[in-house]
Chain A
């Protein structure tokens, strides 16, 4: 019995919710044995954003290769795997379905349990990988191209959303502004880079407050303000200072993200804050959050960039804690494009 309790749990995890086809083998939720990602960014750049049908076609083309590489890199075989974890929402339905159908077939043919994982809970769990001491409760800010959430992680697998965006996700605003100032897709890394050359106080873009919801976000206002600024420059035949616009926009977004997160941490008595999702790689956000957390004596955690972007290791981490809690999904598991955090 004791032997059984101490047995290592290896999970094969699969992620295909957007434009990365990914597979990973994760031991005990924290040790990444392999993390294979096949990115389609170059393909979608042609279209200025992710095209769902193209993404889905690419997933089916790559998925077996990615899984085989993940098993090989982890020096393991399906026989040694204890469970199959898979993202089943939220995301693009056609893209999700490829991973879900593949994972179910593998689970069925090997007779290994299937654990469906929420994509955002995966992003949160990415923090467990490199921070071995991190345990709930903590506050997590999730910022990506599709999501902006402030979540209380009360226990493993137990989430309470305390704030969310009312319109654009933070990463979406980065993409739209990047396109408007001619930086192209994907916007986040490009704005981050060019901002280092600019003056972040050059233009004062608005920070939106939502009256009855102190932890909610809105980024459509700041995005519109940038577009208006560009238009007025054009009208006045002034040259657009791309680096200054980028830096000022980024500063406005970062300012709101950091202020709300710190306010929530104090209000809910959280001494640990995590950031997660693609925008968690943003250097200005990391720097500002670090400074604010140090000042408030809050411990800050964030994953390496490779675990911020969509990946399957984070799904393996989340699947482990679900597995331990006894979560099992059946052969009829479906993709749920608008799956809610904490929903089972």
Chain B
């Protein structure tokens, strides 16, 4: 059973192939080139390197959001195009879940933080209980202080990771009241290897969708929709 996994939700572009329980290839870059230019050449590179016939892939896993709207769509459109052409299903992995899965097996609370701009983070809370991955708080867009308050209330040690750590580091250090750590560089950003491992669990449970119906989960309205909604709410008052 082979899964091709992609993550283009943030600045990182990452692709991986998992074959049963073996990660046969993983390629991650964090560079200024756009995902549109890097993603397929990266896939092509690992496919060639492990001499894979694309037709052998059983499913395409994609980190389906939240994240950069455009980044998500490049990943999703690529997954949908591959799914259509190869007639394979898609496995939609919530981006924040995929990030948390980088820290498999840790005893602490896991808190991924993605910079969502507009003073918000995409985040969630996770733990491993006897190696079972448990979602305590589903992925959401909230203010950094809201999630820190929640962690303080839970009164447990926590590990932070993700690209939201850098912009919010000072606020975290200032507000956090429980023991905390920041994940090191090799675990702190999106990795398609983690998306692929999680996708295998989804696949075994039959949690797949068609390439036709797959679309990203933005967790946010577009600016125009938000403004229209606010305007309507105001006029209803």
Contacts and interface: CB of A to CB of B under 8 A. Distances in A.
Contacts of B80: 60, 63-64, 102, 105
B36 A105 contact: no
Contact of B81 (A46, A65, A101, A332): A101
A78 B84 CA distance: 10
B69 interface: yes
Interface stretch (B122-130, B131-139, B182-190, B221-229): B221-229
Interface stretch (B100-108, B164-172, B195-203, B209-217): B209-217
Given A60-B77, A100-B36, A101-B74, A108 B222 contact: no
Given A53-B222, A63-B77, A98-B77, A335 B36 contact: yes
Nearest to A96: B36
B86 interface: yes
Nearest to A94: B70
Nearest to B44: A331
A106 B211 CA distance: 12
Given A51-B224, A54-B225, A67 B73 contact: no
A332 B218 CA distance: 25
Interface residues of B, number: 35
B76 interface: yes
B54 interface: yes
B167 to A, nearest CB: 23
Contacts of A101: 36, 39, 73-74, 77-78, 81
B43 interface: yes
B181 interface: no
Contacts of A109: 54, 81-82, 85-86
Contacts of B54: 108-109
Contacts of A110: 85
- Contact residue range for chain A? 35 or more
A97 B36 contact: yes
Contacts of B218: 57
A47 B226 CA distance: 12
A104 interface: yes
Contacts of B51: none
B211 A64 contact: yes
Contact of B228 (A47, A65, A102, A331): A47
Contact of A54 (B41, B215, B222): B222
Given A102-B84, A108-B43, A332-B40, 10 more contacts: A51-B224, A53-B223, A54-B224, A57-B222, A64-B211, A68-B212, A97-B77, A101-B39, A109-B82, A331-B41
Interface of B: 34, 36-41, 43-44, 54, 69-70, 73-74, 76-86, 211-212, 215-216, 218, 222-225, 228
Interface of A: 46-47, 51, 53-54, 56-57, 59-61, 63-65, 67-68, 78, 93-94, 97-106, 108-110, 330-335
Please name the 4 residue pairs, one residue from A and one from B, whose CB atoms are nearest each other, closest first. A105-B81, A109-B85, A101-B77, A53-B222
15 contacts: A46-B228, A47-B224, A51-B222, A51-B225, A54-B224, A57-B73, A57-B218, A98-B73, A101-B73, A102-B81, A105-B77, A105-B80, A108-B81, A331-B40, A331-B41
